Chains A and B, each alone.
Chain A
């Protein structure tokens, strides 16, 4: 079974400083990996997706993630944090066979951005 592990449950950064949210995955084959963001009392929004086309994936709002097979990692980064980035971030792996599909979510990382 595929799984993801988010290494930090809570990350706090100052506005304008870099963001690093860490995720490791476990998969028996090349996975599809995603990062989703959930703002307070809101739904889940797709930030970016990796599907083996390119190892460095650019997403919305200045976020990007790099797929590193040797390290089984898919860390999310942003050069400069903004107050509006404060939210819960989920690393997700897709398990798909034909038309059957499901997402397995990590436990989430709460990003706090301070002035």
Chain B
């Protein structure tokens, strides 16, 4: 158990809909990351938040957005869903301080499997 929790575990919805995925980081970790794993694209970094602020952005679609709340949990919002958005969405957390070493290590949650019909 990594200490990172994600809800829900599974989500089935229809095209055009909007969903929210939730992530709680490990105790004490300030950074939260979102990744998408799909058969055709593999594992891709979407976005990072550090202590409530966006820090790094990857291949995240404009239809997707995220935020990190004062209690450090994060939500990934996916809107106008398309069939191609079906994937496993992972959240990870790390200490991510200014130095290297342990702060680089990201611990992953169990994922949310999104199916768009």
Contact B107 A46 (CB under 8 A): yes
Report the separation of the CA atoms of residues A49 and B110 in the bound assembly, to the nearest whole angstrom: 20
Answer yes or no: A44 CB below 8 A from chain B CBs: yes
Answer yes or no: B70 CB below 8 A from chain A CBs: no
Q: How many residues of A contact B (CB 8 A)?
A: 23
Contact B105 A101 (CB under 8 A): no
Instruction: Report how many A-B pairs have Cβ atoms within 8 Å.
Output: 67
Report the separation of the CA atoms of residues A31 and B79 in the bound assembly, to the nearest whole angstrom: 35
Contact A102 B42 (CB under 8 A): no
Contact A45 B108 (CB under 8 A): yes
List, in ascending order, chain B residues with CB within 8 A of A44's CB. Answer: 90, 92, 108
Q: Can you add 12 more A-B contacts, CB < 8 Å, to A42-B110, A43-B2, A102-B58? A: A34-B105, A43-B90, A44-B92, A45-B2, A46-B106, A99-B55, A99-B98, A101-B55, A101-B56, A102-B48, A103-B35, A105-B43
List, in ascending order, chain B residues with CB within 8 A of A101's CB. Answer: 31, 33, 48, 55-56, 94, 96, 104, 106
Interface residues of B in 74-117 (CB under 8 A from A): 90, 92, 94, 96-98, 100-101, 104-111
